[in-house]
Every structure is written in structure tokens, then in C-alpha cells.
């Protein structure tokens, strides 16, 4: 986040302009936290895990709480406030974890400020369980020192959900096409799913809450079950599949278990 960059710049240079800018940014973030603990993003007024909004802010406040050198200059009042809002934000994050049939799963891109329920963002971003944002959220939770039982439960359940929805036997190919210019990008490749029994596990970006089925969406907001049914503009202009949880499952989670999950 820019505030961390400004803090490091002040710590390294002593230039008070950087300090004033960092303090102003911190004050803004502190004011913008909603009563239930979340921060909104650009797309919808909801608790936002997309674009590292929640995890980025919480990581910065964790730096402050843990005495990171680039925030050593911060006054006690802001330091205390940062610790308090961090605790509220962690509680908010835990409250947002989606429960299906009594079982904790993972997180949506956005959640309602009051009910913590998953909500839709942009037209093509439906309320769902999201592998990418859940991976980032779990990484943050794993970074917390001496996690309590609530945090450990959330991590174990979230990783178990990611493991359960990994997809084997396919890969995403880029097929060259004649360039097609859209408002926000130019498509020179189409994205096509092909069988590949030897390929690594891959994840869909969105999963239906009720049944963990991968879901996709056209630009007009129409939900479709098959990736090939997504219109070309959205099919080539959005990350519908990815390998986001791979390192988390293979390295981060086992390391966390070794440290904390006795």
C-alpha cells in the first residue's frame, strides 16, 4: 500500500512531507472503517476482499502493531488506534467466512457490512465463494502471531475448501485470433479449456455457494455454467481460472501447521 511506501520513505529520508502524507493516509483509513470492521472498495459499498483492500489494510496495521521499523516514528495515539481497528477487522474477516450446511468454507470478493453475507460486485462478479480472494485472506490469517482457536479453525476450513474444489484434468489454452478491440482491452488470444490429464490442478475464480460448482458470467450479468458460453470480451478480459492457491497449499499451509497447528 502507498502508506507503507510513504512510511518507509520517511523512515529512510526524514523528510517531513512523507510523514505528513503517511499520517494523513492513516487517518483517512482509520475514519473509513465501517462500524462492523470492514472497508469498502471501488466497485460496491461492501466489505471488500477484492484488490487486496481488506488484506492490504490489515497487513499495514499488523506491521504497526508488531513494531515494523518503517512505522517506528508513529505516535502512540495512532499506534493504539491501528491496533484496535485491526482487531475489529480480524473479527469482521472471521464473520465473513461463508458457512454452508454448518460447514465453514471460504470468502466472497465482497460481503455486506451489516450481515456479512456475500454480495455481488460488478455485473459479472456474482455472490459466490472465490478462490483468489480466499487465498489472499488465508495468507493474511496465517501471518498472525500466535493464532487463537477461531483463527486456526478458519484457516483449516478455508484450506480444506480450496483443496476440495481444485480441478484436475484440464488446462487453459491461449488460441491466437484476429485482434478484437474492446473498451478496456484488445483480445489477440481467445481462452479455451482443453482436456489435460497431466496438467497441474487449477481453480475457477468463482464457485456457486450451494454446491461448489464453478460459475461464470457474461458481461451483461448473465450467469453461465460453461466457460465457453462467456462472451469474448469477458472471456479474454478477466481471470476466470488460475493457480492462486497452489503455493498456499503446497508451502504456506504446511509451514503454518508446523508452527501453530499442534
What rounded mean pLDDT belongs to the chain? Answer: 95
pLDDT computed for residue 1 by the predictor: 59
Q: Is residue 14 part of a domain?
A: no
Within a domain: 218: yes
Q: What confidence score (pLDDT) does residue 121 get?
A: 93
**Of 137, 120, 146, 11, nearest to 65 (Cα)?**
146
Q: Is the pTM of this model over 0.75?
A: yes
Kindly state whether residue 185 falls inside one of the protein's structural domains. yes
> Residue 262 above 80 pLDDT?
no
More confident position, 262 or 224: 224
The whole-number average pLDDT for the span 16-28 is 92
CB 58 within 8 A of CB 86: yes
- DSSP H helices, 40-199, are 53-65, 76-96, 131-142, 149-164
> Once rounded to an integer, what is the mean pLDDT over residues 94-122?
97
- For the domain that residue 164 is a member of, what is the CATH number? 1.50.10.20
Q: Is residue 57 part of a domain?
A: no
- For residue 16, being part of any structural domain is answered with no
User: If you ran DSSP here, which 8-state letter would residue 248 be given?
Assistant: I
Longest dimension (CA), the chain: 59
Examine residue 62 and state whether it is found in any structural domain, yes or no.
no
d(CA 57, CA 69): 17
Which of 158, 113, 151 shows the shortest CA–CA distance to 132?
A: 158
Q: What's residue 9's pLDDT?
A: 87
The residue with cell 475464480 is 205
pLDDT at 232: 96
Domains identified in the chain, total number = 1
Q: Which domain holds residue 171?
A: 97-262
For residue 55, pLDDT over 70 is answered with yes
Q: What are the pLDDT digits (tens) for 148-199?
A: 999 999 999 999 999 999 999 999 999 999 999 999 999 999 999 999 999 9
How far from 249 is each of 99, 165, 173, 201, CA to CA, in Å? 21, 12, 24, 11
Amino acid at each position: 500500500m502507498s502508506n507503507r511506501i510513504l512510511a518507509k520513505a520517511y523512515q529512510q529520508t526524514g523528510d517531513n512531507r512523507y510523514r505528513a502524507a503517511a499520517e494523513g493516509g492513516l487517518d483517512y483509513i482509520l475514519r473509513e472503517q465501517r462500524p462492523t470492521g470492514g472497508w469498502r472498495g471501488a466497485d460496491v459499498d461492501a466489505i471488500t476482499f477484492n484488490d487486496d483492500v481488506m488484506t492490504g489494510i490489515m497487513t499495514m496495521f499488523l506491521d504497526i502493531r508488531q513494531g515494523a521499523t518503517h512505522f517506528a516514528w508513529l505516535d502512540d495515539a495512532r499506534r493504539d488506534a491501528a491496533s484496535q481497528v485491526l482487531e475489529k477487522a480480524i473479527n469482521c474477516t472471521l464473520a465473513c467466512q461463508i458457512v454452508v450446511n454448518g460447514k465453514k468454507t471460504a470468502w466472497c470478493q465482497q460481503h455486506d457490512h451489516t450481515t456479512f453475507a456475500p454480495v455481488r460486485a460488478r455485473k459479472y462478479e456474482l455472490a459466490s465463494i472465490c478462490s483468489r480472494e480466499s487465498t489472499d485472506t488465508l495468507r493474511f490469517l496465517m501471518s498472525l502471531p500466535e493464532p487463537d482457536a477461531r483463527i486456526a479453525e478458519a484457516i483449516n476450513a478455508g484450506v480444506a475448501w480450496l483443496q476440495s474444489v481444485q480441478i484436475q484434468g484440464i488446462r487453459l489454452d491461449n488460441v491466437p485470433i484476429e485482434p478484437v478491440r474492446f473498451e478496456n482491452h484488445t483480445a489477440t488470444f481467445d481462452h479455451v479449456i482443453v482436456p489435460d490429464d497431466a496438467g497441474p490442478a487449477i481453480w475457477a475464480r468463482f464457485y456457486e455457494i450451494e454446491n461448489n460448482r464453478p460459475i461464470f458470467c457474461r458481461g451483461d450479468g448473465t450467469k453461465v455454467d460453461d466457460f465457453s458460453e462467456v462472451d469474448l470480451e469477458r472471456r479474454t478480459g478477466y481471470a476466470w481460472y488460475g493457480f492462486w492457491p497452489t503455493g498456499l497449499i503446497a508451502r504456506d499451509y504446511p509451514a503454518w501447521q508446523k508452527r501453530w497447528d499442534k
